[in-house]
Each structure stands twice: as C-alpha cells, then as structure tokens.
C-alpha cells in the first residue's frame, strides 16, 4: 500500500505578517513557507499507522532482507521568507531522537532545483525514534521510525546502539531486559512502548515478535542488519 500526505509546515498568512519587509531572510529556508509531501510505501499494509502525527514508518536495517519493511519518500518545496524558491540547497535526513540509526546507504540526498524542489528516500534504519529532513540548517519535516532491531546486545547497556560497528536483528532484540520486546509487552503508551508496536494494533505482544497476520515482526527479520552509520546532524 502507498499512502501520500502533503504536509504544510506552518501558517503562511501569519508568517507573512511577521516577516513583511525583512529581505535579509531571503534565500534562506523558512519552514512555515515550505511544504513536505510524505509518501510511505507499506510492506505489508497497515494503514492505521498513518493516522498519527508524525507519520510512522517501519524500517529494516538490511536492504536485502525479505520481506522488507516500509520506505518513506519526502518531496519538498523549499521557500524563503519572501516565498521565493531556495535553490542549490542540500537536503538530507538526520536522526533527531531515540536510538534510531540510519546505516550507510539507508537514505538518499538531494539538492533543491530552481523551483526549490527536492526529493529524498529513507529505506533502512535500526533502532527507533524520530528522523528529520533538513536543508540549510532548517528541519522541514519528520517521521517516527520503528525497527525490529532495538538492541545491540542482551544487556541493558546494549539499548544504546553504537555509532560504529554492526547491529543485527537477533534474540537480544526480544530478551533484552530493558529494551527488548518482551520487556515492553502491554497496552501502548505513546512515548513509552509505542516504538515496539510493529503491527500498530495499540499493544506490544507476541504478534509483534512472531509477525502474525502478515503484519511483519521480529522473526521475519532475524539475521537482518549491517553496518551502523555515525549519527547525522542538521547541517
């Protein structure tokens, strides 16, 4: 299933009043004037996840892993405070919060054209948290990422995925006493155990581990993984 949502990042009318007559802001991205079109290809389908804000995308750390999880594409129009296009500005993805880690090759980059348009896709990640899309030091939009790879080892300190080395989906992701799926079983409380709800049924349970009802779970991704990338920032 493919679902697309156009997200305006602020109020044009209010921003125009506030910044009227401030040409020094020209040619720098101004978030309230920018738009971000988010398209999530869901594998397998689970449309209930997309009713949240920010949108939820499930990612696997291994591009060759089958069945694959989701991928998300951001189509941006970047404007300045005078509502004119910002061209030749690099657009990148970066990890905003949580343990999420984009591996090398897990996200594309782009540069805005003469109309301020650019498009990037994120198809791989470990951990969980927020990933933002950034240009010229301005965060334009973001998504929530959930992955079956939540732990680097079976002990609590393994919940903080390192920025070098490798991480794979294995038994530690289920049994880690702090961040493993078993430790997070129960009804979902947003911000506490919502990252582990892979099938978006408002509960963390055996279905998220076993992948029942073709929703995709930890067991479908055992052995998937690879190199961890250094955390990115918003340049």
What tens digit of pLDDT does each residue of 6-42 get?
A: 666 654 444 443 444 444 456 899 999 999 999 998 8
50 phi and psi angles, rounded to 5 deg: -85, 0
Q: How would you list the strands of the sheet with 90-95, edge to edge?
A: 56-58, 138-146, 129-135, 90-95, 110-111
Own/partner contacts of 62-67, CB < 8 Å, gap of 24 or more, are: 62/124, 62/221, 62/224, 62/225, 62/226, 63/105, 63/106, 63/123, 63/124, 64/224, 65/221, 65/223, 65/224, 67/43, 67/216, 67/220
What tens digit of pLDDT does each residue of 42-53 get?
A: 877 666 676 788
Work out the mean pLDDT of the chain and round it to a whole number: 86
Number of Cβ atoms within 10 Å of the Cβ of 100: 23
What tens digit of pLDDT does each residue of 150-181 get?
A: 999 999 999 988 888 888 999 999 999 999 99
Which residue is it, tokens 């594309």? 108
Strands 117-122 and 138-146: unpaired
User: What is the pLDDT confidence band of residue 200, given thresholds at 50, 70 and 90?
Assistant: confident
Q: What is the mean pLDDT of residues 218-233?
A: 89
Q: Can you give the pLDDT at residue 14?
A: 42
What tens digit of pLDDT does each residue of 95-130 get?
A: 999 999 999 889 999 999 999 999 999 999 999 999
Coil, strand, or helix at residue 119?
strand
Q: By the 8 A CB rule, do 196 and 181 touch?
A: yes
Which sequence spans correspond to the domains of the chain? 2-146, 156-227
Q: Can you give the pLDDT at residue 220?
A: 86
């Amino acid at each position: 299933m493919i679902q697309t949502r156009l997200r305006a990042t602020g109020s044009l009318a209010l921003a125009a009043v506030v910044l009227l007559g401030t040409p020094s802001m020209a040619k720098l991205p101004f978030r309230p004037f920018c738009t971000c079109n988010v398209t999530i290809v869901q594998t397998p389908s689970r449309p209930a996840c997309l009713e949240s804000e920010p949108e939820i995308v499930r990612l696997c750390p291994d591009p060759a892993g089958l069945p694959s999880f989701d991928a998300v594409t951001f189509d941006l129009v970047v404007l300045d405070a005078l509502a004119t296009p910002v061209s030749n500005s690099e657009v990148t993805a970066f990890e905003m919060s949580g343990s999420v880690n984009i591996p090398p090759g897990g996200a594309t980059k782009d540069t805005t054209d003469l109309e301020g348009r650019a498009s990037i896709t994120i198809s791989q990640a470990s951990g969980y948290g927020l990933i933002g899309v950034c240009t010229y030091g301005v965060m334009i939009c973001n998504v929530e990422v959930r992955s079956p790879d939540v732990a680097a080892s079976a002990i609590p300190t393994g919940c903080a995925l390192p920025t070098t080395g490798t991480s794979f989906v294995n038994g530690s992701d289920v049994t880690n006493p702090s961040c493993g799926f078993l430790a997070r079983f129960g009804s979902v409380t947003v911000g506490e155990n919502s990252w582990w709800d892979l099938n978006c049924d408002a509960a963390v349970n055996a279905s998220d581990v076993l992948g029942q009802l073709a929703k995709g779970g930890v067991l479908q991704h055992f052995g998937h993984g690879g190199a961890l990338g250094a955390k990115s920032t918003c340049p």
